Amino acid sequence: MSSTASPLDPVTLAVIENGLKQVCSEMDLVHEKTSFSPVISEAYDRSNGIYHRDTGKMIAQGELGLPIFLGVMQFATQAVIERRKDLEPGDIIIQNDPYLGGTHLMDVKMVMPFFYQGRLWCYLSNTGHWPDTGGMVPGGFNATATEIVQEGLRLPPVKLVRRGAIVQDVVDIILNNIRVPEERIGDIRAQIGALRTGEKRLTALLDRYGADTVDAAIVELEQRSEQQMRACIAAVPDGTYSFTAWVDSDGVVDEPLAVALDMRIEGSEATFDFSRSSPPCRGPMNSVWATTRSAVYVAMKHIFREVPINAGCFAPLHIPVPEGTFLYAQYPRPVAGCAAEVAQRIMEAVFGAMGQAIPERMFAAPAGTSGNLGIGGHDPETHGNYIMYFFSGGGYGGWWETDGLTNGCSSVGISKTQPVEILEQHYPLLFEEYALREGSGGAGRHRGGFGISYRIRLLRGEAKASFLMDHGRYGPPGLMGGADGAPNEIAISQHGNVVQPPHRSKGADYVLTPGDWVQVRTPGGGGYGPPSARDPAMVERDRRRGYGVDVADDA
């Protein structure tokens, strides 16, 4: 796209750009501070954004929102635009249909048309991860599901709020199909409150600078973002680069699934062809089209982090529809693992392909799993039901400058592990261990960061544990001769009998009684460069810190 002269001075343009981001960030804060679920209030598993009135394209997203939602909410908003021609001021649409611009059923979207001076000006949209939307297992991450109806309640775009008033019939349907309704109503009101906050703050911004000026700024910002992304791609040598990332299994059939990418760089255009990937699978590791595309967008943002995020930076990225593969899920394929797990394998494939093209700017693979663990049951002390959804960190890959980050968040988000003290207050569970997994980073000139090791024991009552993770068959791959990181490991103790899940990283419906526990050891990042090239001083530093080496003789 050729540049055009901007009618805005640089200062006004920068102020409006940051003003739009601030609107979204304040929505994020309201969403976080008023939610009932620790996964939102403590772990930040949510996002808010502004989307174009005609196209649904992303205009801005909060700095505190999950990156994987940046593209997904764009597609969810487009689905609302296409299907709801009856929207009025004060309306809010709720939806979680994965096939209509979604992820998995637990990521619930709300879309509100924003009117300014009597006309539709944009859409405000958000996503919150609800710890439960019904389904066969507490938490929704059912590793054995073979169709979407087994995963939970699927909502098409329906009006949750009509002309400013909550539609109680819709709320009743939702609350009667989930396990902990008193918690969900708090999350529902938090999402509504975040959108209404955005409405107030965006109105103030438009009042100050004028709708026409802000419109012009949005066009200019989109053009600049596209130009920057094109410049980054143009610096990558032309050619086709191929890489295959592997999903452990689909949870039903114990065979790996290939995310096979052929990435073609031509000038300032990049094409990501996944047509050689595995066919649709029986289990819940199918990826819906919105998630597949968003994963590519987030991967490119990781690589070229200097490019501002809006619809412009997506324009040079072309992703042919991978029909006939598990990366283009259609009804009724189960999809619970798409956003948190398959998306990270897609990103890993992009990282691996770029690692061949520009290794001097790249990094080895990160842990690449969100470590989704759900434990739900009845607490005899409080006489209430509960569901704890927990995700954990892992090691990032070493890179050209230094070692990888230890216990980093999943590469699809900025969410953090919930404080174990908060979880122990909410649920009848005890974290007996929460520690670094020393030695889990792949060796290299710059080694991978470490994963973590934790163990959760049930204190009272009966519960069920289910988990949907990955990287248990193969560890995160190294780059430029670096070694792979350690793979994911899970163990479950039932009545003193310790077992490992047959599918390594996936399992469902493990019944726990008091004293039983679940142990998880998350992956370390891959190493960068040959281990023989590592600085001896760094080797000695790691040894003295006890990173997988016995240093008792130094005491």
User: What's residue 416's pLDDT?
Assistant: 86
> What is the C-alpha end-to-end distance of the chain, expressed in Å?
64
Distance, CA of 370 to CA of 377 (rounded, Å)? 22
Distance, CA of 445 to CA of 537 (rounded, Å)? 12
The dihedrals phi and psi of 397, each to the nearest 5 degrees, come to: -75, 150
Chain Cα centroid distance, residue 160? 25
- Tell me if 297 sits within 8 A of 305, measured CB to CB: no
Distance, CA of 213 to CA of 292 (rounded, Å)? 35
Whether residue 98 has a cis bond before it, omega within 30° of 0: no
How far CA 260 is from CA of 244, 247, 274, 327, in Å, comes to 4, 11, 6, 10
- Tell me if 122 sits within 8 A of 59, measured CB to CB: yes
How far CA 428 is from CA of 12, 36, 255, 510, 554, in Å, comes to 53, 18, 36, 17, 41
CA angle at residue 201 from 192 to 29, to 5 degrees?
Answer: 55
* Residue 80, burial from CB neighbour count under 10 angstroms (0-12, 13-18, 19+): buried
17, HSE (Cβ side, Cα atoms, 13 Å):
17
pLDDT per residue, tens digit, the chain (555 aa), is: 334 444 689 999 999 999 999 999 999 999 999 999 999 999 989 999 999 999 999 999 988 888 888 789 999 999 999 999 999 999 999 999 999 999 999 999 999 999 999 999 999 999 999 999 999 999 999 999 999 999 999 999 999 999 999 999 999 999 999 999 999 999 999 999 999 999 999 999 999 999 999 999 999 999 999 999 999 999 999 999 999 999 999 999 999 999 999 999 999 999 999 999 999 999 999 999 999 999 999 999 999 999 998 999 999 999 999 999 999 999 999 999 999 999 999 999 999 999 999 999 999 999 999 999 999 999 999 999 999 999 999 999 999 999 999 999 999 988 889 999 999 999 999 999 999 999 999 999 999 999 999 999 999 999 999 999 999 999 999 999 999 999 999 999 999 999 999 999 999 999 999 999 999 999 999 999 999 999 999 999 999 998 975 433 333
The residue with tokens 């649920």 is: 427
- Tell me if 456 sits within 8 A of 514, measured CB to CB: no
The residue with tokens 């792979």 is: 484
- Tell me if 194 sits within 8 A of 28, measured CB to CB: yes
Q: DSSP secondary-structure letter at 442?
A: P
The count of residues in the chain is: 555
**How many CB atoms are closer than 10 A to CB 511?**
13
Residue type, 537: A
CA angle at residue 38 from 34 to 41, to 5 degrees?
Answer: 35
- Tell me if 390 sits within 8 A of 418, measured CB to CB: yes
3-state class of 297 per DSSP?
helix
Whether residue 279 has a cis bond before it, omega within 30° of 0: no
- Tell me if 142 sits within 8 A of 126, measured CB to CB: no
User: What's residue 551's pLDDT?
Assistant: 38
User: What's residue 401's pLDDT?
Assistant: 95
- Tell me if 293 sits within 8 A of 350, measured CB to CB: no
321, HSE (Cβ side, Cα atoms, 13 Å):
7
Distance, CA of 471 to CA of 474 (rounded, Å)? 5
* pTM of the full structure: 0.95
- Tell me if 21 sits within 8 A of 64, measured CB to CB: no
CA nearest neighbour of 394 among 448, 433, 446: 448
Buried b (16+ CB within 10 A) or exposed e, 424-461: eebbbbeeeeeebbbbbbbbbbbbbbbbbbbbbbbebb
The first and second tokens of residue 236, run together, are: 């990558």
3-state class of 403 per DSSP?
coil
- Tell me if 217 sits within 8 A of 189, measured CB to CB: no
* Residue 524, burial from CB neighbour count under 10 angstroms (0-12, 13-18, 19+): buried
Q: DSSP secondary-structure letter at 87?
A: -
Domain ranges of the chain: 10-225, 363-555
Distance, CA of 99 to CA of 428 (rounded, Å)? 36
Q: Can you say whether the dihedral through the CA atoms of 184, 132, 196, 415 is positive or negative? A: positive
In sequence order, what are the residues at sequence separation of 6 or more whose Cβ sits closer than 8 angstroms to the Cβ of residue 160? 92, 93, 94, 110, 166, 167, 170, 171, 188, 192
- Tell me if 12 sits within 8 A of 213, measured CB to CB: yes
- Tell me if 285 sits within 8 A of 323, measured CB to CB: no
How many distinct helices (H) and strands (E) make up the chain? 10, 20
* Residue 294, burial from CB neighbour count under 10 angstroms (0-12, 13-18, 19+): buried
The first and second tokens of residue 310, run together, are: 């809006």
